[in-house]
Amino acid sequence: MRPRPHFRLMVPYWRLSAYYFFYFAFIGAFSPYFTIYLKSLEFSAWDIGVLMSLMQVMRLLAPNLWGWLADRCGAKTPIVRGAALMSLFGFSCFFFTHSFAGFFIGMALLAFFWSASLPLVEALTFTHLGAQASRYGAIRLWGSVGFIAAVLGLGWLLDRLPLSATLWVSAGILGGILACALVLPEKREERHETDRLPIGDILRRREVKALFAACFFMAAAHGALYVFYSIYLVSRGYSTTMVGILWTLGVLAEIGVFLYLPRLLHVFSLRTILLFSFACAFVRFLLIGWGVEWLAAVLIAQLLHAATFGAYHAAAVAAVNRWFAGRHQARGQALYGSVSFGAGGMLGGLLSGLVWDVAGAELTYTMSSAFALAGMIILWRGWRPA
């Protein structure tokens, strides 16, 4: 009997993995350090919150447009390539301005096109994997490796170079995204029995509505983390190198989840994994808000990233892939991104920018914890176990 070929030989493993590597390397360079760069330009907390929330605003609007266009065209890679090129163009605006208006225009352009890519690449990855969807983590973990490389490398550089180095490193990574996008192979979805089912019928299912509502609150809970976490740590005496180490610790924990994802999915249901992730988020943000003076509390909070992002995101995209099959796959992933990272992230980013100046960091992260609790309750009540 001939042995089955390894799944890395059956899918374009390294080309997909390279894209995830550079995509999340950009997040590793941009999210922790770009806010510090903005603060060095004397933008207020509200200004920083508004600028960073543009990433979520565009995630609310753009992915649905790109997902609809991909479904209409029957191809994803041309959109991914065009989006990568225009993202680099939008980011280049930051080299020529220090004004709020200039940064607003650059962020809007960057976010509109950059947000187009990931839902389409997620759908493309699941299409290539086919029946081996549980192997998603083995590809996605390279995104976590890219994040670590960027957050550690740039953190080390910024202890030795001006904060403007953030721009050059981030632009270089966007160039890597473009190079990877140019070699991504297209694969059309196989016909599925749900192809003739209107997407509205899927969206009206109780468990689908519960998942999307819960994901909205989970993304809102992470708003203060992605906008102000690095600023918070630096203000409490942590060096940029230590900031990078702490971000890296969280992503290393995330990689562990992705490596063991097939086993987790074999033992636990998607609903159970998600409920556990929300409970961990509730604890994590309380630790960040009230325990920042104790390194042990900060370390535990970062280790919980394994659940609050790694397990949560893997289970959420797997559920969306299960419910939105066939020709609905790209739009399903786009809707997940829009509702969670878009609408939820926008709310979390804007509210954290407002509350940060008025009530302080501790109450801002308490608000994040409350968002996570709300999401857990919605998911528990709305998605009934089979």
For residue 118, the domain's CATH number is 1.20.1250.20
User: If phi over 0 gives left and psi between -120 and 50 gives alpha, with beta otherwise, what is residue 44?
Assistant: beta
Percent of the chain past pLDDT 70, that is, above it, reads 92
| pLDDT the model gives residue 212 | 93
Residue 90 lies in a domain: yes
| pLDDT the model gives residue 4 | 47
Residue 182 lies in a domain: yes
Q: In which domain, by residue range, is 116 found?
A: 13-188+198-382
Residue 6 lies in a domain: no
Residue 2 lies in a domain: no
Residue 8 lies in a domain: no
| pLDDT the model gives residue 386 | 67
Query: What is the Cα–Cα distance from 90 to 276, expressed in whole angstroms?
Result: 38
Task: Report the half-sphere exposure of 275 (CA within 13 A, side-chain side).
Answer: 14
Give the residue with greater pLDDT, 248 vs 289: 289
Q: What is the mean pLDDT of residues 290-315?
A: 92
| pLDDT the model gives residue 194 | 53
Summarize pLDDT for 136-146 with one digit per residue, the tens. Answer: 778 888 988 89
Residues 6 or more apart in contact with residue 331 via CB below 8 angstroms = 64, 67, 68, 71, 199, 324
The answer, yes or no, to whether residue 376 has pLDDT greater than 80, is yes
| pLDDT the model gives residue 129 | 76
Q: How many domains are contained in the chain?
A: 1
Summarize pLDDT for 165-205 with one digit per residue, the tens. Answer: 999 999 999 999 999 999 988 876 655 555 566 777 878 88
